[in-house]
Amino acid sequence: MNGYGEPLKKLGNLEFITLTVPNCKGDDLSRTITSMTKSFTNILRVIRERRKIKISGIKKVEVTYNEVENTFHPHLHIICDKGVGGCIVVEWLNRYTKATVKAQKVQTADAKSFNELFKYSTKILQKVGKGIDIYIPAIDIIMRALDRRRTFQTFGKIKKVSEDVQELQSITDTTIENIEIQEWNYDDLRHDWYTLDGVKALTGYIPPDIQFTIFV
C-alpha cells in the first residue's frame, strides 16, 4: 500500500472495480484465474487501441471459498482512472456471458477501496457465529492455484514497486556471539512457549474465547 498508494493518488479521480465470474470447482480454479487474467489484459488492449482511452491502475486477484457449495469464487479488484469502469464491465460481460451485471461493481475509490485492494488474497479463516472454521483442503487448492502468479499487476503509468521485504538487509554484528541462547518448548494446550522446566511462559498470551473448527 505504501509503494502503490502515492502513484495511484497522482492519477487523480479513481474508480474501484470488482469483476467476478460464477463460482467454480477446485479442479477448474487455476484455469479460471488464468482465463480471467488474460481477459482483463485483452480488455485493456481494447480500451487503449480501439476506444483510444488511456488507462492506468493496478489489479489484484482474490479467491474466496464457499463451504456450503464447496466452490471457489475468484474475482478481480481494480483501482484505475475514473470513467472507464463502465467500459471494462461491458467488455467483461461480453467475454463471460454467464456472469451477471449485478455481480460486477464500479464505484468511486476511497480509503476503504485501498484497504480492500491491498488486503489478503484469500481468507484463511471463515467466521461462523462466535466461532471460526478453517478449511485446510480448500486453502491448499487456493494456494496451489495462486502459486507463482502475480496477485498484484500494474498497468499504464503505474509501475511495479519492490516489496518492503526486499529492502531489508541482513545485520552483521560481531557482538551476536555474546548473546545468551535460551531454549523454549511450545505447549499446545497452554498456547505459549515455556522454559524447559515448563514453569515460565515466554509471551503470556491468552487465547480469545473462540471456537475453532478445522476441516481436513
Task: Tell me the domains of the chain and their CATH numbers.
Answer: 2-123 (3.30.70), 182-215 (no CATH)
Whole-prediction pTM value?
Answer: 0.76
φ/ψ of 61, rounded to 5, equals -95, 135
pLDDT at 107 over 90: yes
Per-residue pLDDT tens for 132-185?
A: 889 999 999 999 999 999 899 999 988 877 655 555 555 555 555 555 667 889
